[in-house]
A and B are shown apart, each in its own frame.
Chain A
Amino acid sequence: MRHFDTNLNGLRDSITAMASLAEEMIDRSIQAMNVPDPDIANQVRELDRRMDAWELQLDHFCIELLALQAPAAVDLRFVASSLKIVPELERIGDHCCNIARRGTLVHPPVLLDGSLERLGQETRSMVSRAMNAFVTKDAALARAVILADDSVDELYAGIYRELIRLMKADPGCIDRAGHLILVIKNWERIADQATNIAEEVLYILEAQSAKHPYLQGKGPAPGEGRS
């Protein structure tokens, strides 16, 4: 195996490790919504420091590969997309911190229909599948992740409307529901980050940008539907 292949495999393994950390943070953030334990937020914050360290390390590694190895074709796409995937994962960590630190502020629960848990799990599934697509080079799976963002958006919108309704009906829940609005926005953003990762996977595999399909005459423009 070429030395450069060893480097590329190392980069792929490191990103996978970073993604595993992100999934662990997501799991604990879901847990934070269920259990009012302040220690969970501390654990998530601790994990976020490791995410930040990964980001610095992998940024540096990607730049080093570009400068020293001058990759081309699929190797270039892989390194360039890695440079974009790493900050997406780091942002997922930030969102998890935002969610987990509100864990003690949303109890007793405002939502009793399980929709908050479902939003967290669907988002987690998107991240997990996006990273599986990255590792197994599965374009169909990456496309499925991009499509899944629509259902997360719908779920988010439904919960948002319900929270507004609850706040109007019971002003006593406004503080908790207000925090929940921020929580669901963070989940929705994590789903966007998973979508971005899936788009990068498609770029690596197919050499064509999957971003902003409306600019290529596919699908509605922002404001007309999904962006």
Chain B
Amino acid sequence: MLACKNVTIEFNKTAVIKNVSLEFPVKRVTAIIGPSGCGKSTLLRACNRMHFLTPGAKVTGAVTLNGKDIYHKDVDAVLLRRRIGMVFQKANPFPTLSIFDNVVAGLRLSGLGSKARLQEAAERALGDAALWDEVKDRLQQSPMTLSGGQQQRLCIARALAVDPEVLLMDEPCSALDPIATAKIEELMFRLRERLSVVIVTHNMQQAARASDRTAFLWMGELIEEGDTETIFTAPTKPMTEDYLTGRFG
């Protein structure tokens, strides 16, 4: 299980995340919601050490995966990111690689690829990302020939190909139409049968539809977290209620 314990994240000594403790249960989708600038993406990125090379960034507290601190000096960031995959707001396929090569890029970088294994992994990952039927006859084409929604699912397939334990998704549907969004949400629903999904979203209805648990952040602090159904029908904190009902601020 991925977990944050007393995590504080500073940029140039300004705290953006303040003493947040939050667990992301296995085989559950956890949504992180909150207004712009509340630190949702910052917290998500800390979960696979994306701030590691940011000048002035400092992460204190502990982010653990199955009880082990992912910031420990012995943890290899590249190997860590195989276990904790990430999908970004804007689909970012490698434009000079084919669709097939995009999917298996992680496996190749890890030196895990006999040709047969890569083929099998690509088919499985594209199938998991609900993209196989749409691209199986054009695997050698450029990913830039795909629609935005297909490109996003390709990025998800690329993350799934290395068989992660956790998938972090930073507003993965913000640039997608409702049909593509529905496919990604359906995908999240199926993925939670075997891994943890953490999604940052501005779309309240997406959080309500697609997640099992919801965490509400405000100004870098965790205000409330719990079962999504409870958060959306009967939040316990007035601030959560005000945010969900649009009466914030």
Contact = CB atoms under 8 A, between A and B. Distances in A.
A72 B234 contact: no
Interface string A74-108: 11110000000000000000000000000000000
Contacts of A76: 232-233
B240 interface: yes
Interface in A178-219: 207-208
Chain B binding surface, main DSSP class: helix
A73 interface: yes
A207 B246 CA distance: 18
A74 B205 contact: no
A76 B244 CA distance: 10
A73 B235 CA distance: 7
A203 to B, nearest CB: 9
Interface in B193-249: 204-205, 208, 232-235, 240-241, 244-247
A77 B244 CA distance: 13
A75 B245 contact: yes
B245 A208 contact: no
Nearest to B247: A2
B201 to A, nearest CB: 14
A74 to B, nearest CB: 6
A207 B208 CA distance: 17
Contact of B244 (A2, A4, A72, A207): A72
B209 to A, nearest CB: 10
Give the bracket for the number of chain B residues in contact with chain A.
10 to 19
A77 B232 CA distance: 10
A77 B245 CA distance: 11
A210 to B, nearest CB: 13
Interface residues of A, number: 12
A70 interface: yes
A72 B232 contact: yes
A72 B208 contact: yes
B245 A207 contact: no
A36 interface: no
A202 to B, nearest CB: 12
A75 B245 CA distance: 7
Contact of A70 (B205, B233, B234, B247): B205
A207 B233 contact: yes
Contacts of B245: 71-75
A77 to B, nearest CB: 7
A38 B234 CA distance: 49
A73 B205 contact: no
A74 B246 contact: no
B232 A73 contact: yes
Contacts of B233: 72-73, 76-77, 207
A4 B240 contact: no
Which residue of B232, B235, B240, B245 has the most chain A CB atoms within 10 A of its CB atom? B245
A77 B246 CA distance: 15
B211 to A, nearest CB: 13
Contacts of A71: 245
Contacts of B244: 72-73
Interface in A1-41: 2, 4
Interface in A49-88: 70-77
B74 to A, nearest CB: 44
B233 to A, nearest CB: 6
24 contacts: A2-B246, A4-B246, A70-B204, A72-B204, A72-B233, A72-B244, A72-B245, A73-B232, A73-B233, A73-B234, A73-B235, A73-B240, A73-B241, A73-B244, A73-B245, A74-B241, A74-B245, A75-B245, A76-B233, A77-B233, A77-B234, A207-B233, A207-B234, A208-B234
Given A72-B244, A73-B235, A74-B241, 7 more contacts: A4-B246, A71-B245, A72-B245, A73-B241, A73-B245, A76-B232, A207-B234
Interface of B: 204-205, 208, 232-235, 240-241, 244-247
